[in-house]
Amino acid sequence: MVTIIRRNPVRALTMMEPFLHPRGILDEAERVVRDFWPRWEGGVTGTIPLDMYEHKDELVIRAELPGFKREDIDLRFEGEALTIRADKKVEAPEGVTYYRSELCYGSYLQSLALPFPVDGEKFAATFENGVLEVRVPKAVEVKGKHIEIKGG
């Protein structure tokens, strides 16, 4: 006679849950903190969603910053990195009681190592409809140069 022993698959998954979804632990910790301090603002709230691509002879970076004002955004180029920092302050009047708070406030930071050398003197940045667009030409040595061949 053969005896088949089966483990409870539901219990096994429950025990593994923290390891299967490590982000869930952080979300739960954040929820606990927010229960005590509903308008809690941590250090850096998050990163900025963006696209970075090469177009012709320039590098283009497009970042989504909905709800921000132009003066809330700080753009810096140092060495071979571009840093975008945006701060969004709480706009609620004093003395209110929140029953639900899902809007994000705080500091957002994204630091990018640029994929090739650029001409740091020729940055052009625009901010329109919540989208920051940064354009910068490649450095001369990266573009390449046509070399004429002389002789017969």
Mean pLDDT over each residue of the chain, to the nearest integer: 76
pTM of the shown model: 0.61
DSSP strand pairing (44-46 vs 106-113): parallel
Q: What is the pLDDT of residue 31?
A: 66
In sequence order, the β-bridge partners of residue 133 are 62, 126
Read off the pLDDT band of 75 (50, 70, 90). Answer: very high
Read off the pLDDT band of 14 (50, 70, 90). Answer: low
- All residues at 6 or more sequence positions from 70 whose CB lies less than 8 Å from its CB, including other chains: 127
pLDDT at 93 over 90: no
The CATH code for residues 42-91+101-143 is: 2.60.40.790
63 CB neighbour count, 10 Å cutoff: 24
pLDDT at 37 over 90: no
Instruction: List pLDDT tens digits, range 95-143.
Output: 888 888 777 777 888 889 898 888 888 889 999 999 999 999 988 776 6
As a whole number, mean pLDDT of residues 44-73 equals 87
Q: What is the pLDDT of residue 22?
A: 54
Q: What is the pLDDT of residue 40?
A: 47
Comparing 11-15, 61-65, 113-117, 121-125, the range with the smallest average pLDDT is: 11-15
Q: Looking at per-residue confidence, does 76 or 89 come out higher?
A: 76
Q: Looking at per-residue confidence, does 4 or 102 come out higher?
A: 102
Spell out the domain ranges in the chain: 8-40, 42-91+101-143
Cα angle for residues 103, 51, 77 (degrees, 5° grid)? 90
